[in-house]
């Protein structure tokens, strides 16, 4: 069996509710998931599993459970995700991008 049949193709997943960022102060335990290509069609569920810290602005961490469709089971994607700019973003990749951004110099 090929790997393509087991995992969903590369999609950009978005919360089915209109949020741009999920934080400790403003997050949901569960929310519907859609894709950018079909934002009105649910394709799974995001489940909050924790936070990146204890502050109110700490990001909520989610696991994505995606339906493969047509009677096939759901698949839990292997990464942890945060909601940033209205999309689910791989947390590890987001951390790497944050650390590679140049810091502004203090004068």
SS (H, E, C) the chain: CCHHHHCCCCCCEEECCCCCECECCCCCCEEEEEECCCCCCCCEEEEEEEECCCCCCCEEEEEEEEECCCCCCEEECCCCEEEECCEEEEHHHHHHHHHHCCCCCCC
Whole-model pTM: value is 0.81
* pLDDT per residue as tens digits for the range 63-104: 999 998 777 788 999 999 999 999 999 999 999 988 887 665
């Amino acid at each position: 069996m090929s790997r393509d049949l087991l995992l969903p193709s590369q999609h950009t997943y978005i919360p089915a509710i209109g949020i741009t960022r999920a934080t400790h102060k403003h997050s949901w335990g569960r929310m519907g998931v859609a894709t950018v290509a079909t934002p009105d069609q649910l394709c799974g569920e995001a489940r909050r599993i924790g936070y990146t810290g204890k502050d109110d602005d700490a990001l909520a961490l989610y696991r994505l459970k995606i339906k493969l469709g047509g009677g096939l089971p759901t698949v839990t994607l292997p990464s942890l995700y945060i909601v940033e700019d209205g999309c689910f973003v791989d947390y590890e990749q987001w951390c790497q991008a944050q650390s590679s951004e140049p810091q502004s110099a203090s004068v």
